[in-house]
Structure 1
């Protein structure tokens, strides 16, 4: 119970506070439910993208190993020593339930194959193209995982606030309101009793 004076003014203020706390609890509960829904949606897409990335990277690694097996080491180094593909990554932010989440936009130019074909294996071509395909999904995976992380953090904070309002703040205020109401009722009964005694004395 809160440490307050048992007055009618305090009672009115506490009633306003409990209404405000109940409204805040309702809004935070809605926010918590929507964040949970968005988190489930993003998590399911992460699973699919991660599976795809793992397959693509496994295929890329296998192709690179085959290319190394069919090429001289110095030819392999010379082929990939001077890349001609340029990559820029821009980060913007979107809002999901007041949570700022990143959105990644890539700008890629040039060709990933930066070598002549006379001293290279066809497996190297296939490996680099596989790496190029995997890169798109890697960027999307990084974006979704960061979004999920930020939403999970916000969900945890929102749950804590909902629990504090539901189990601490609102019960405390209601208990205090009941206490003040009982005290005021007791004071009114005492006053009525005194007035009746005074009336009896006057009549006597």
Structure 2
């Protein structure tokens, strides 16, 4: 039992009360962390489901963009299309910010120029002369793919951070559940055992002392 209890604890009633308060705090902390862990698991499940849906949507967008690219290559010519692609020197800037989810700071990736606002020909780097509407259609579809990929990356970053926090919280819950609280409880039982043992020793000592006093009193009466 000695190895299972907290070292250096004196078996006193005051120490027992102090450990009782520590156990109560540890149990409340465990309950709070368990609630946080449950919320993180729910959020992680939601993000995982959304990522799976986004992945299927991105796959469809990429297939449609590739079909538009093949049609643009046929209409415009692959050499001309390659020249137009090389002229697109403008690369949208990315903005990486952060937000909090269940008390966890997670990354948020966005584009400085929203795809929903549209991108003009001049920003793509090529002129309207010598090009067809299919080229614009292809560029627009790939811009949407890029936007979807960034949204997916943002979700993946959030899921990764939540996974790390889940693992950290689960370790703390397990430590409280299987180490801290049981050790406090074993120490309290040890103190109770020692206090009861001490009370039995005191009771035996008092009875023994009473017997000695009674015997001495009988002997004194006999002598008198």
2:141 corresponds to which residue? 130
1:194 pairs, out of 189, 205, 214, with 205
Give the distance between the partners of 2:103 and 2:138, measured in 1 at CA: 42
Residues 91 and 102, structure 1, Cα contact 8 Å, conserved in 2: yes
2:222 corresponds to which residue? none
Question: SS at the partner of 1:168?
Answer: helix
Query: What's the offset of the Cα at 1:99?
Result: 1.0
Give the distance between the partners of 1:106 and 1:118, measured in 2 at CA: 28
2:73 pairs, out of 68, 71, 83, with 68
| Superposed CA RMSD | 2.1
1:38 pairs, out of 35, 39, 43, with 43
Q: Deviations over 1:149-194 (max 9, x none)?
A: 1101111111121112112221121111111101111111101110
Give the distance between the partners of 2:134 and 2:191, measured in 1 at CA: 83
Residues 11 and 195, structure 2, Cα contact 8 Å, conserved in 1: yes
1:108 pairs, out of 76, 91, 113, with 113
Give the greater-gyration-radius structure (CA). Answer: 2
Q: Is 1:13 aligned to 2:24, yes or no? A: no
Unaligned runs of 5+ in 1: none
Give the distance between the partners of 2:172 and 2:159, measured in 1 at CA: 20
Give the distance between the partners of 2:120 and 2:185, measured in 1 at CA: 69
Give the distance between the partners of 2:120 and 2:136, measured in 1 at CA: 11
Mean CA deviation greater in 125-134 or 69-78: 69-78
2:174 corresponds to which residue? 163
Kindly report structure 1 stretches of 4+ aligned residues shifted beyond 4 Å.
Answer: none
Give the distance between the partners of 2:38 and 2:185, measured in 1 at CA: 26
1:180 pairs, out of 191, 195, 198, with 191
1:95 corresponds to which residue? 100
Mean CA deviation greater in 156-165 or 57-66: 57-66
- Aligned residue pairs, count: 204
Residues 110 and 151, structure 2, Cα contact 8 Å, conserved in 1: no
Give the distance between the partners of 1:85 and 1:117, measured in 2 at CA: 16
Q: Deviations over 1:70-124 (max 9, x none)?
A: 4444312321222265512222211112210112232228525543355335433
Mean CA deviation greater in 72-81 or 164-173: 72-81
TM-score by length of 1: 0.89
The 5 Å alignment of 1:54-65 reads 54-65=59-70
TM-score by length of 2: 0.82
